[in-house]
Structure formats: structure tokens, C-alpha cells
């Protein structure tokens, strides 16, 4: 059984083919610069050199068609025909309140996703275009939607409602939804295994840190709070997003700089965060390198990000009670030893004892690492995330009828004998 995972962004299409029987990735890749011109695909197959092909893709249908042609190509492909694909799993960023778990896509599901696309105007439209294109190109294959927001639908009202007029929620769906749900799900299940405890007995703080950043407070195995809100703009300092700021700032700057609502939204989403502070960089490796050379603004960016991370740990610990573990994941979380150290140093008073040598050695995306001392009451782990595996297992379980909510469904990676490929 071959499962395809598709993640359609505004100008890209990421894909992965997973062999369910062998439990291995057989191919993955990305089509870049979809719509904007000079498109190309980079196709990766284990044991082969990467294959790159330039091909104009004016829309997502053309990009997915290119993916299908490459994965079934006689020389570069891994399949004889598209008929070998058993199902396709689609990442959908926003499912609103309707979807609390992954679902097989039909017209009603697709229309429901369209109904909430105004809540994620940068993400849901390309997700929808990808679904429509894939269903058109692979009409006999089941398609499944996996929602970023689903994992967080267990949050209580006091966590997801904003102190704004209540009819904003009733009439327009204004509330906290949260994102990166598949990542938080994966690493929380892996943490329970590492702790040797059932997931429903674990209190965990998960910190997904990449260009986008979100944190999650997990009490007894379920999400009770998360840092991203109505949109992915709220919360921590990110690569180009501001995260939490005084809500009066946008109106203030719109008046001062004569900016439109669209322009201020673009500034907060694309020109703020690490980029806004440094003026030049979003990649934390560049920031760390230039901070070491004495660049004050790069050092300031690291200090601000780490300080915000530390505050979230404290806030979420207060929310969930006795804490078992803190988890760092995603690109920066897995590779940013300096940022991790700054975020958790000085937290001995809440039971976190950093082992600096272990932390410095946890600079790989291929293994799970403990970075606190053996006697630290609260453990801190670096756990590489695997959202595509969540996609794949949800799709397979929906196909065979065994799928249920994540506290009842037994994922392979939630078992003690799981080995990361």
C-alpha cells in the first residue's frame, strides 16, 4: 500500500510517497515557484541522486500533474502507474470548529473547508486548490484531509475564547484555533513513550520552533492551550511573524505610516519577528553566527526569542500543573542548541536542570535526545517531528475503518518498540 501525502502552499507543492507494508519513505520532493513562474521540481529517492526538472506550473493542477509524471517516470520514478497509490492525504491548515480529526474528503467536506477559508486566507485557498486538482487527476483514489487545527479542538472555552464581543465568536468564528497540530500530536505521543507513562497521564509542553512557531500545553495527553490563535500570527516570535504584540500597535502604525489594513497585515506576517528585529535574517543559523561576531540586533533577536520561549514554559506550567517534560521540535527546535539553552537556563527553580553537554550534542534531526540531567525532575527532550507519518497513519486507518480520536487510536509511534526509519 502506497500512501501519498500532499502539502499545497501558495507557491509550492510538497509530496511524499510512503510504503505502508515496508514502513519506509520511497520518494519525496517539492515543486517550487508554482504560479509565479520558473517552476521546477526536486525529486528525492533514497539511494539516488536528487532529480531536478524545470517545468512551468501556472497552477496547482499543473504542479500535481508534474508530480504524478515524475513519480511514475521510467527512469526517475518509483511507481509503474498512479494506480499503485492507495490514497492521498492532504494537509489542510484550518478546519474551523467542524473538524476534530482527519476525515475522508467528499463534496460536503470540501465545501465545509471552503466555508472557513476566510479564517486562513493565506493557507486554505491553496490547500483547496490542491485537493480539487488531485481529485480531478486521481478520481478513483480516496482523498483524506488532515487538519492542523484538529488536535487543539480539546481546548476548553476559557482557553480558546477571546475577551472581545461574544457575537464576534457566534457570527464570525473569532476564537483561538491553534496550528501545527500533527507535529504536537506526534511529539507528545513519543514523549509518553520516552517517559514510560500512558499518554493520558502525561503533562507536557511542546515547542514547535521553525520559521513558524507554536507551543502547546498538553494536560493528560490532550491540548488545553496553544500559542497560535485565530490565525498563525499570534504567539511566539517567529521568522517573519510578530507573534504577541499590543493590539493597538497596528492601528497606531496605520495612522503614522498611512498603511492600509492589507499592508499592516503584510508587515506583521512577512516583515516582523526575527526579520523585523535583525533587519536582514530569518534563518536562526545566520542570526547566531552574526550575534557571535558582535551584531547587537542579532543578539537582541536571540534574547527576545528565548525570553518569550521561557515565559511560555512558565505560563503553561501554571496552566497544566505538575510538569513531566518540555519538548523542542521542528527545524530550530531540533537544531538550535543555543536557543534551547537560553530558553531553559535558570529554570532550576521549576525543576529543569539543563545538561549543557547533552544539549550541545543534540544537533541532529535523526534521533531523540534528552538534554537535561538524569536527576532533573522535569525532563527536556529534543524530538524530531514526523508530521507525514501522522498523515499516513490517519489515512490508512480511515481506509480500513479503525480510525478514531487520537486518545483511542494507537499510532505505531506511540508504541515502545517503534523505531524511527
Pinpoint the alpha helices (H) of 72-151. Answer: 107-115, 124-137
Look at the alpha carbons of 87, 329, 318, 195 in this order and tell me if their dihedral is positive or negative.
positive
* DSSP state letter for 349: G
**How much is the CA Rg of the chain, to the nearest whole Å?**
21
374 is catalytic: no
Cα separations in angstroms, 114 against 108, 119, 135, 308: 10, 10, 15, 34
CB-neighbour burial class of residue 298 (10 A; exposed 0-12, middle 13-18, buried 19+)? buried
Q: Which of 107, 108, 148, 303 is catalytic?
A: 148
Query: What distance lies between CA 40 and its chain's CA centroid?
Result: 24
For residues 83 and 1, the answer to whether their CB atoms sit within 8 Å is no
Q: How many CA atoms lie within 13 A of 18 on its CB side?
A: 23
Q: Is 380 left (phi over 0), alpha (psi -120 to 50) or beta?
A: beta
Query: What are the start-end ranges of the E strands in 133-212?
Result: 143-147, 204-209
Identify the sign of the CA torsion 62, 65, 69, 71. Answer: positive
3-state secondary structure of 326: strand
Q: How far is CA 141 from the centre of its chain?
A: 26
3-class DSSP state for residue 261? Answer: helix
Longest dimension (CA), the chain: 61
Q: Are the C-beta atoms of residues 60 and 126 closer than 8 Å to each other?
A: yes
List residues with catalytic annotation: 148
Amino acid at each position: 500500500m502506497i500512501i501519498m501525502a500532499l502539502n499545497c502552499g501558495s507557491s509550492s507543492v510538497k509530496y511524499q510517497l510512503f510504503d505502508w507494508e515496508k514502513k519506509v519513505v520511497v520518494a519525496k520532493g517539492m515543486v517550487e515557484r508554482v504560479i509565479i513562474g520558473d517552476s521546477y521540481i526536486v525529486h528525492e529517492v533514497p539511494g539516488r541522486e536528487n532529480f531536478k526538472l524545470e517545468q512551468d506550473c501556472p497552477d496547482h493542477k499543473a504542479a500535481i500533474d508534474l508530480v504524478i509524471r515524475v513519480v511514475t517516470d521510467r527512469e526517475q520514478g518509483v511507481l509503474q502507474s498512479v494506480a499503485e497509490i492507495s490514497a492521498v492525504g492532504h494537509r489542510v491548515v484550518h478546519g474551523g470548529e467542524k473538524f476534530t480529526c482527519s476525515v475522508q474528503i467528499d463534496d460536503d467536506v470540501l465545501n465545509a473547508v471552503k466555508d472557513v477559508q476566510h479564517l486562513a486566507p493565506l493557507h486554505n485557498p491553496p490547500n483547496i486548490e490542491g485537493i480539487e486538482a488531485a481529485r480531478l487527476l486521481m478520481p478513483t483514489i480516496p482523498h483524506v484531509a488532515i487538519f492542523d487545527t484538529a488536535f487543539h479542538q480539546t481546548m476548553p472555552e476559557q482557553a480558546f475564547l477571546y475577551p472581545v464581543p461574544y457575537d464576534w465568536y457566534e457570527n464570525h468564528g473569532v476564537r483561538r484555533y491553534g496550528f501545527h497540530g500533527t507535529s504536537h500530536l506526534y511529539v507528545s505521543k513519543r514523549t509518553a513513550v520516552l517517559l514510560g507513562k500512558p499518554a493520558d497521564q502525561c503533562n507536557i509542553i511542546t515547542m514547535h520552533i521553525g520559521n513558524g512557531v507554536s507551543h502547546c500545553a498538553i494536560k493528560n495527553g490532550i491540548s488545553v492551550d496553544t500559542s497560535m490563535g485565530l490565525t498563525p500570527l499570534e504567539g511566539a516570535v517567529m521568522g517573519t511573524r510578530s507573534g504577541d504584540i499590543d493590539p493597538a500597535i497596528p492601528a497606531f502604525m496605520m495612522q503614522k505610516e498611512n498603511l492600509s489594513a492589507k499592508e499592516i497585515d503584510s508587515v506583521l506576517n512577512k516583515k516582523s519577528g526575527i526579520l523585523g528585529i535583525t533587519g536582514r535574517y530569518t534563518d536562526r543559523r545566520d542570526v547566531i553566527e552574526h550575534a557571535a561576531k558582535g551584531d547587537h540586533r542579532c543578539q537582541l533577536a536571540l534574547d527576545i526569542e528565548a525570553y518569550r520561549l521561557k515565559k511560555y514554559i512558565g505560563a503553561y506550567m501554571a496552566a497544566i500543573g505538575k510538569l513531566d517534560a518540555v519538548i523542542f521540535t521542528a527545524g530550530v527546535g531540533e537544531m538550535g542548541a543555543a536557543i534551547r539553552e537560553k530558553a531553559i537556563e535558570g529554570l532550576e527553580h521549576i525543576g529543569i536542570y539543563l545538561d549543557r553537554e547533552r544539549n550541545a550534542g543534540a544537533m541532529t534531526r535523526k534521533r531523540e535526545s534528552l538534554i537535561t540531567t538524569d536527576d532533573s525532575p522535569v525532563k527536556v527532550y529534543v524530538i524530531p517531528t514526523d508530521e507525514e507519518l501522522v498523515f499516513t497513519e490517519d489515512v490508512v486507518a480511515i481506509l480500513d475503518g479503525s480510525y478514531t480520536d487520537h486518545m483511542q487510536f494507537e499510532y505505531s509511534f506511540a508504541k515502545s518498540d517503534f523505531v524511527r526509519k
